[in-house]
Chain A
Amino acid sequence: MSKSPRVALLAAAAGLALALAGPLVAQPVHKPHPAAHPHAAQAPAQPLPPAAARMGLGREALPEEIKAWSIDVRPDGKGLPPGKGTVRQGDELFQAQCAACHGEFGQGNGRWPVLAGGQGSLKDDRPEKTIGSFWPDLSTVFDYVRRAMPFGNAQSLQPDEVYALTAYLLYLNDIVKDEDFELSDKNFTSVKLPNAAAFYDDDRETTEKSFWGRQPCMKDCKAEAKITGRATVLDVTPDSKTAPKVD
């Protein structure tokens, strides 16, 4: 690397560098948003217009319609359908419907997600983030399997099947040890996942406060700049096999 930049910046009028520090071009076509506060999530909520101002658009949702689409489950158990399933039943279902991608024991085939193991690896160079090692809430397993699995045949599982699969995933992660364990809407919220306490809300504006308000150095900021890593060493960029054909 050369010691001094071999790039000559073009001088603009009056010998100033071409890029001036002056006011930046601004064409605010947006009207200011109601909350310009940087912490938008904490901005005071704007009151909604009164009911009298409603447009009367849309129609009332029927209870059957709400029920048909309400497939979500929360950590407090809200949304759990009545039902039950055992580890054994889940094992059978898992081998038939899930193992092709996730592996017999949830170890993951190829790049498909690993579902079990990895406990104690979260500080490692290559953490293994599974249901047992990482996920905070069991309801997430139920909610996700019910809405999105099996991949390509979503929402095809009955509630009892989702309970059984969830029980089997607990077993694969050593959270339950008994093959006869039965998970149901009655005992669901009593099962806790081991990594639940390790999650906390975004605190960047406190812990990374030093990124705000700096006056960065502009001239003679360091003596040298050495290359410490190169993408070509890894050479994992898609090659011409996947890029568009070149004539």
Chain B
Amino acid sequence: MTSHSDDFAPSRRRFLGGAALAGAGLVAAGPARAETAKPDPLITEVQDWNRYLGEGVDKHPYGVPSRFEKNVVRRDVPWLTASPESSVNFTPLHDLDGIITPSGLCFERHHGGIADIDPANHRLMIHGLVDKPLVFTMEDIRRMPRENRIFFLECAANSGMEWRGAQLNGCQFTHGMVHNVMYTGVPLRTILAEAGLKPKAKWLMLEGADAAGMNRSLPLEKALDDVLIAFAMNGEALRPEQGYPLRAVIPGWEGNLWVKWLRRIEVGDMPWMAREETSKYTDLLADGRSRRFTFVMDAKSVVTSPSPQAPLKHKGRNVLSGLAWSGRGTIKRVDVTLDGGKNWQHARIDGPVLEKSLTRFYVDFDWNGGELLVQSRAIDSTGYVQPTKEELRKVRGANSIYHNNGIQTWHVKPNGETENVEIS
């Protein structure tokens, strides 16, 4: 069985159930019976790859995925933004498994394009309310004690297009502004200790070396808790689009704070009120007032398969798969419903359950070809229960753009096609 259909792309034709879907029939019949089936030539005949030599070890000094995986890529939504340099693309969650996101598939969000920096030319400056302002080279950073930690990074605007109702068909687009990798870096507290803090220090400003000079204010308490200044992801140097050579890692907090191409940390006694913490990344509520510094990402989950880009293709045995995460701690439990919330069951969690990390869940089930309304509901270690989108709108209205962690519904049709819907 192929892991996913090669001819699949999230095209309108596909979603609307065009010829490919309706004609050929998406859902295969039950298992073929051995007595009526012809022998499979893939088994009875020697295949090319089985006879002729493959490529040698000198062909791919840096390996890439199989050519049959070419549809497993980040995708963007061109109408969303004015230019690709200040825009976002999305992780193909429906094509991935486990909890680690491959580095090249981690969604991107830039405000002034990808800075192209030779690490030999990169500097990190710490100044402001410190005993001694310092400049570090990358060589200096790499001489400090380092740690390895796995954390999710979720954009505060993930699912932001869905506040007014179901809009985008694909969990890549509705939930793909999240990724989860292992970082290697130096605790920020270690770096701050080198400079020494003045007693009035309360807030830090982190600033990038990119063409947007991205800056955000960070409370000192968080900086001294679990923030890392990272130079590696998934065992190798950060990818350029993820902040090479140096980025901030702010566990459990909105992605916008994780300043990439980090060049400067200023220590102060109040927040800076930068553009990205006032005009953006503040949550406009129904009464016209706005919440600011909504740093923590609330518990959230999504079923990644089945989903619009990963329709059901077989009656009988199937694997429902999904992801859950919380910025406040670990995932304690995930519930899944297949009938739109009439009945729920506990999903099977598999793989590491780590603090502020994606957590993988499964439900192994038989499908008889009937309609399904699939939802998942995460519960975290603080007892927070992922709310429905309606519950969120009731307390926040529909204009807050950010922090939409409501329960997602997928409608699986009898032909296996799956659509993003909202239900009563």
Which A positions have Cβ atoms within 8 angstroms of B?
1-2, 4-10, 17-21, 24-30, 33-36, 38, 40-46, 48-49, 51, 53-61, 65-66, 69-76, 78, 101, 110-113, 122-123, 127, 129, 131, 134-137, 139-140, 143-144, 147-148, 151-152, 154-155, 198-204, 207-208, 211-214, 216-232, 234-240, 242-244, 246-247
Contacts and interface: CB of A to CB of B under 8 A. Distances in A.
Contact of A24 (B81, B332, B373): B332
B154 interface: no
Contacts of B215: 72, 143, 147
7 contacts: A20-B346, A24-B349, A60-B134, A134-B290, A199-B291, A231-B168, A232-B16
A57 B364 contact: no
Interface stretch (B24-32, B53-61, B235-243, B292-300): B292-300
Contacts of A240: 9, 11-13
Interface in B245-272: 251-252, 263-264, 266, 268, 270, 272
Contact of B347 (A19, A30, A216): A19
Contacts of A238: 10, 75-78, 173
Contacts of B71: 244, 246
Contacts of A8: 365-366, 368
B382 A29 contact: no
Nearest to A34: B225
A98 to B, nearest CB: 14
A65 B295 CA distance: 31
Given A1-B373, A202-B294, A238-B78, A243 B134 contact: no
Contact of A231 (B133, B225, B298, B420): B420
B213 A71 contact: yes
Given A5-B339, A65-B125, A198-B289, A53 B193 contact: yes
Interface stretch (B33-41, B42-50, B136-144): B136-144
Given A7-B372, A25-B353, A61-B134, A75 B273 contact: yes
A42 to B, nearest CB: 7
Contact of B224 (A7, A45, A56, A123): A45
Given A74-B270, A123-B287, A18 B364 contact: yes
Contact of A237 (B10, B112, B338, B364): B10
Q: Most A CB atoms within 10 A — which of B6, B7, B251, B291?
A: B291
A5 B338 contact: yes
A154 B207 CA distance: 14
B111 interface: yes
A126 B309 CA distance: 30
A71 B207 CA distance: 10
Q: Which 4 A-B pairs have the closest CB atoms?
A: A225-B340, A6-B370, A147-B213, A240-B11
